[in-house]
Structures are given as structure tokens and as C-alpha cells.
Amino acid sequence: MFAMAVAEPLQQMLTTPSNVGEFVVNITNRFHFSRLISNFISFLVLSVKILTGLPGLLIIILFGIINNTISAFFLLKIPAREVVDYHKGNNIFRMFLNVMKRKETRIVLIAKWVSLSVLILIGFAVPFLSKVIKLPYNYIFLFTIVGSFSTVVVGILVKPFVDQIGSKSMIILSSFGVGILGIIWAVLPETTSVFIIFPLGFLNMFFLGMVLILIARLFLQSIPDNDRITFASMANFFSAVVAIVTGLCGGYLIDVGETYQFEMINSYGLVFLGVFVLSVCNGIICCFLEEKGSLSVRETAQVLFSTRMLRTYLDIYQFKHTSDPIKKKFILLHIADSDGDLATSEMGKILKNPLSNEKGEVIKSLFLHPRPSLLPEIIREAKDPFSMHQIFAIFALGGFEGEMVEYALTELLDEPDIHVKSTAAKSLARVGNTSE
């Protein structure tokens, strides 16, 4: 827990507002990929007949101790210049009271703790499978492998657009997805086949994994620049308290379910109904988030279910992560051909960047596909005598319409540069103005 309190502030220092989501996805994917390997090893060990049961479990624990010790030696090699300062009277309880006064941070922390409770209650699926469904240990480890694989898949899918869409809407949608699956878990009979359980586990961790990744993104963004360690310590301390309370409540609900044997639900049904209640609450809580730049639920649904919008997001992601100029030019053509606001926004960012190598290509594309919202940027570029792309911008104005365009082009006719004057005259003719 001490390591967690130090690690999260360091992670926040390594991120920027534009890549925090991608950073969290990378961290999460590497963690779950490691978990996937360890669970697969556990599955192989427990599949050996003589190691089934306690001997196999002890071997797995010993293997974990050895690996953890090895990792400590690698940690020693990492240079760290961060200093943990202590300010008298500034403890986790005072930090808690101060944070709870700030609406945005308060909502993020509550969502973090509620999603942790959901994760713990879903964790009762393991004893449910062992005790009620009576799956052997190796199948249960295979079930956890499916869950880890699902979380890795989530990371791969959301990585290209998590920082563009934002967290709010996807948390809301995913929380309701987890809630629906909680009801399904609650009504599973003892005779349920593994062919139903494994896909159900995959979907469960798919939606919950998305919630956890997106809340981790919001949490990193909410860590203050000062008192990072105290803030993270406070969050982890109360996470531990929430975990203890949730675990005890989950165990109590199982005892009640096994004692009274409610109709329509299994003996662990009350726990899984708790998953439903908490997930729905989490979705409602996140409705009050005010995340700058986040899309609405409706806009997010349009993105997720529109192949054209998804293609635009993927194009923008590839554009930002490729260094090959030919590939960048090819991808930029796809972006310029898209009619959505997202493509317009990305092209606007390129136009505002004075050092962008792609600015000329964007300006050229606007002649064939004019975007009125980018007109002020094109006019500014056309009037800048020191711009490398001035002629392209003047030419592109010929694809727009309106008095603002004609006025700007008429002004450019008075420039001493004959190339500027002649291009402005051609563009004036293209917009239908023959008065000059």
C-alpha cells in the first residue's frame, strides 16, 4: 500500500492531459498481461494430477515469492529524485475533509471506491464457481485467465480514442453493462455449463475493466500538484476501509443466501444483486462529473456504433503515432475526407501549430472540402506574409463563400508580391466576385 501511494503520484508526473488515458491503458495492459501469464502457469501446475489442491497452491505461492524478490532488485536500479515532504498537521483525515469539499475530486473518489466495491463483489464469482458450480481449481484459474484477457482486449480497443472521447460517458455505459451482468450471475443455476460461464466472465471483466481503466485515468488527473503522496495515501487508506467493509458485507450476504435459499436466485445471488445496485449507483454518480472535453453518452454511442466515426478516431490515433511522412500524408487524406466535427477539430489543431509539417496538406484539402469553422485560421494564414503556406491559404479561400472571404481576398490585391496578388485574384474569381 505504501508503494501504491508513491507509484500513483509518479505516474501522474509522467503524463500530460492529452495522453493520460493512453498511459493508464499501457500500465493496465502490462499488468494484466503479466497476470495472464501467471494465471496460465497456475493453470498448468494445478492441471498436474499429483499437484491438484494444496500442494499445487503452495508451489504457486512459492513461485510468486521468488518472482517478487527478483522484481525488488530491478526496482533498486530505478533512479528517483522525488522527495516525500511532511507538513505538520497535514494528515490523511484532513486531506479527506479538504478533498470532499471539491465537487469534481469528490465524485472521482466516490466512483473509485464504488467501482472497487463492485470488483470485490464480482470476485465472489470464484468461490461461487468452486462451491456452487463445483468447477475444479484448474478451470477456475482458466476463468481468471479469460478475465485478464478480457481486460487486455478492453485496453487495446479504447486506447486509440480514450483521450478524445473522455471517461464520463463510457463509465456510465459500462457501469450499466456490469449491472445487467450482475443480475444474470444472480440467477445462474448450479447446472450452468462452462460454455456459458466463460463468455459471461469475459463480458463481465470487459465492462468492469473499462470502468476501472477510465476511473484510474480520472484519478491520475485529479491528483494535486502539491501533497501528491498525502492525497494518494488518503485514497488508498479509504480504499482499504471500503475493501474490508465490502468483503465482510459480501460474506454476510452469502451466509444469508445459503440460509434462506431465496427463489429465482442462487445462494450467492444477493452478492451479485449487490453488484447490480452498486454499478447502477456508479453510473448515476458519474452523470454528475464535469469532465472538460468529454463527449455526451449519446455522442459516445454514435462513435462506438458508427464505423465511419470509429475510422476517424483510429486515423487520428495513427496520425499522431506514426513518424513516416508518407503514411502521415495518406492518413491525413482520410481525415480530410471525413465530415465529422472530430476531423475538423484535429485539422484545426494542425493549422494552429506553427511548426506542423502537415499544415500545407490540410490547407490544400480545404479547397475541395471547405470547413466554415476553420475559415478564420485560413484567413489568418493567408494574411501572414511570413507564412510558408500563405499562397496555399489564399488558394484555399477560393473554395469558401461569404463576405468575409471576399473582403480578405480584396485586401490581398493591394500586396506588393505579384504572386500573392495573382492568386488572390484567381480565388476571387472562383468565389464569383468579378468586381476587381
Domain limits, the chain: 2-47+92-292, 306-430
Q: Which residues lie below 8 Å from residue 177, measured CB to CB, with a gap of 6+?
A: 203, 207
Lowest mean pLDDT among 55-59, 124-128, 150-154, 321-325: 321-325
Rounded to whole angstroms, the Cα distance separating 148 from 201 reads 10
Q: pTM score, two decimals?
A: 0.77
338 grid coordinates: 471525413
pLDDT above 70 coverage of the chain, percent:
99
Helix boundaries (H) for 338-417: 341-352, 359-368, 375-382, 390-396, 403-412
Residues 427, 395 contacting (CB under 8 angstroms): yes
Nearest to 184 by CA among 207, 154, 150, 213: 207
* Interval 132-152: pLDDT, tens: 999 988 888 889 889 888 988
Q: Has residue 310 got a pLDDT over 70?
A: yes
Residues 272, 182 contacting (CB under 8 angstroms): yes
pLDDT at 1: 65
Rounded to whole angstroms, the Cα distance separating 59 from 173 reads 41
Rounded to whole angstroms, the Cα distance separating 330 from 36 reads 37
422 grid coordinates: 495573382
Rounded to whole angstroms, the Cα distance separating 143 from 145 reads 5
| Mean pLDDT of all residues in 104-115 | 94
Q: Has residue 252 got a pLDDT over 90?
A: yes
Q: Report DSSP state, residue 49.
A: G
Rounded to whole angstroms, the Cα distance separating 281 from 211 reads 13
Coil, helix or strand for 91? coil
pLDDT at 137: 81
Rounded to whole angstroms, the Cα distance separating 389 from 355 reads 11
Q: Which residues lie below 8 Å from residue 188, measured CB to CB, with a gap of 6+?
A: 133, 196, 197, 200, 266
Residues 168, 289 contacting (CB under 8 angstroms): yes
Rounded to whole angstroms, the Cα distance separating 67 from 38 reads 10
What's the CATH architecture for 2-47+92-292?
A: Up-down Bundle (1.20)
DSSP-assigned states of every residue in 270-294: HHHHHHHHHHHHHHHHHTT---TTP
* Interval 314-352: pLDDT, tens: 788 788 778 888 888 888 888 888 877 778 888 888 888
pLDDT at 82: 66
Amino acid occupying residue 225: D
Long-range contacts of 186-193 (CB under 8 A, 24+ apart): 186/265, 186/266, 186/268, 186/269, 186/270, 186/272, 186/273, 186/276, 187/264, 187/265, 187/266, 187/269, 188/133, 188/266, 189/266, 190/132, 190/133, 190/134, 190/266, 192/133
